[in-house]
Structure 1
């Protein structure tokens, strides 16, 4: 009598447990992070060697640094009355560069904000591309370009600060516009209000404190940048400092540095007081 033995079905493969999957992901993340850290450390080591970074060289240079600083003392304070024109030129370059940038940046921000003109993909892409180009070149490069175009003097400094500041301020203005409360704007648009009316009564009141704050920060930065631009032909205190350094008039150099520090501190103080009132 034969017995029919049925083959037992093959056992179905068991899916990997969630614990094993989680452990595998963690191991991969750790491995990736370790590789990234090693690559960064390798780059830092190579760049330190390529740049010649050396604590020993710095320590050896301290006596020469001290000697250079001692040459500037005491400051020749008698030259300060003759620097007023340079001070006013430097502040005026920074102020005009900031004001022109504020005006232009407002219109660029309309196209760079997705909830306004930026809802059009072409307008948004074009506006963001312009902002990237403006920010990609530092103000010193813009100054050299405008010096070649319009000659030496404060005017190319104003143009350089205007162009570079537009790239910074437009991006900040656009982000402020994108973060506004859409309620007031939608209420105005529902009544048939046009773009100008919508901007006047719903957008500008909401972004005005941020616009003032960002613009004041930009003014503070532009005052510092104006000193540097003066050293490449834009006039002002930077030009006076450059001339004094070339003539080895170190006592005058220290006096100009004191004036620069006082000017920057004064602008920062006035700006902080205005921001405190606005915010």
Structure 2
């Protein structure tokens, strides 16, 4: 096939993928978007009407009350601590069971599907809902936030860990099994060396996410800087609110920078 005929083939779609099916797909997509807009009550007119109120709210937040920073030091540290322990517990919960959720390592189909559904349930419940449950169970404070991040994160990490296991090279696994290696030996010497770099990178990314979520969990009494944020808004101290938001943004930016540098360093060392 020469270049001219190839260009003609690309430019003129075949009957199977012609303009008719594409037009139908476009109409279907437009119908879905319209249906979703009706259900979500999307109204840019209402947004335009609310812009003056948003402007008034933002104007009340400036200038930020930087004297409030002194009170935010401990809540900010607490937020980082919640994110660290939430990430650690999530990893410890996900690692032992992710091998059972990998199609190429699961002992049978029932175990595989059962573990996948467990991951779907744990990551399907929002962290705030989990935090409310744990606040009711163990009381106010940072510990319910840790538990909420751990349970939700275990589902997210477990899904990623198991999917990364399914993508490994099966050659080392088959070689180990042919020598009589057991499941534990196969995992240690055949699986972990192929996935550990990707696992560390995703755990670091999960820490970034948990740090963001930890700032929100304080709104339901799970400790951290979010508690101060909600308190300042309830007291109409919007300049304090602005300071809280600036601190949260700074924390997220620092965590993103450090995590990005660590992932780059780990990936470079794995080459």
TM-score (norm 2): 0.87
Task: Give CA-to-partner distance per residue, 1:198-243, whole Å, 9 cap, x none.
Answer: 2222211110110011111111111111111110111111000000
Quote the residue 2:20 is aligned against. Answer: 30
Cα distance change of structure 1 residues 45 and 115 upon mapping to structure 2, 3 Å threshold? closer
1:41 deviates by: 2.5
Structure 1 segments, 4+ long, off by >6 Å, are: none
Q: What are the residue-to-residue correspondences of 1:165-204 with 2, within 5 Å? A: 165-204=153-192
1:55 deviates by: 2.0
Q: 1:161 aligns with which of 149, 153, 162?
A: 149
- Residues 230 and 238 of structure 1 are in contact (CA less than 8 Å); yes or no, is this contact kept in structure 2? yes
Quote the residue 2:234 is aligned against. Answer: 246
Distance 1:125 1:202 in 2: 23
* 1:62 to 2:51 alignment: yes
DSSP 3-state at the match of 1:64: helix
Distance 2:27 2:132 in 1: 40
Quote the residue 2:63 is aligned against. Answer: 74
- Residues 113 and 119 of structure 1 are in contact (CA less than 8 Å); yes or no, is this contact kept in structure 2? no
Structure 2: tracts of 5 or more residues without a match: 1-13
* 1:104 to 2:93 alignment: yes
Quote the residue 1:230 is aligned against. Answer: 218
Task: Give CA-to-partner distance per residue, 1:106-155, whole Å, 9 cap, x none.
Answer: 11211011221x14112112111111111221111211222222222111
Structure 1: tracts of 5 or more residues without a match: 1-21
DSSP 3-state at the match of 2:231: helix
DSSP 3-state at the match of 2:236: coil
1:43 deviates by: 3.9
Distance 1:108 1:248 in 2: 47
1:39 deviates by: 4.2
Distance 1:37 1:257 in 2: 41
1:170 deviates by: 0.6
1:70 deviates by: 1.1
Distance 2:80 2:162 in 1: 27
Q: What are the residue-to-residue correspondences of 1:252-267 with 2, within 5 Å? A: 252-267=240-255
1:36 deviates by: 4.9
* 1:84 to 2:73 alignment: yes
DSSP 3-state at the match of 1:254: helix
CA RMSD of aligned residues (A): 1.9
Compare CA radii of gyration and give the structure with the larger one.
1
Distance 2:121 2:189 in 1: 32
1:176 deviates by: 1.1
Q: 2:33 aligns with which of 44, 55, 74?
A: 44
DSSP 3-state at the match of 2:221: helix
Quote the residue 2:83 is aligned against. Answer: 94
Quote the residue 2:122 is aligned against. Answer: 134
Cα distance change of structure 1 residues 112 and 73 upon mapping to structure 2, 3 Å threshold? same
1:44 deviates by: 2.7
1:34 deviates by: 4.5
DSSP 3-state at the match of 1:75: coil
Matched residues, number: 254
Cα distance change of structure 1 residues 79 and 44 upon mapping to structure 2, 3 Å threshold? same
Distance 1:43 1:104 in 2: 38
Query: 42-51 vs 63-72, which deviates more?
Result: 42-51
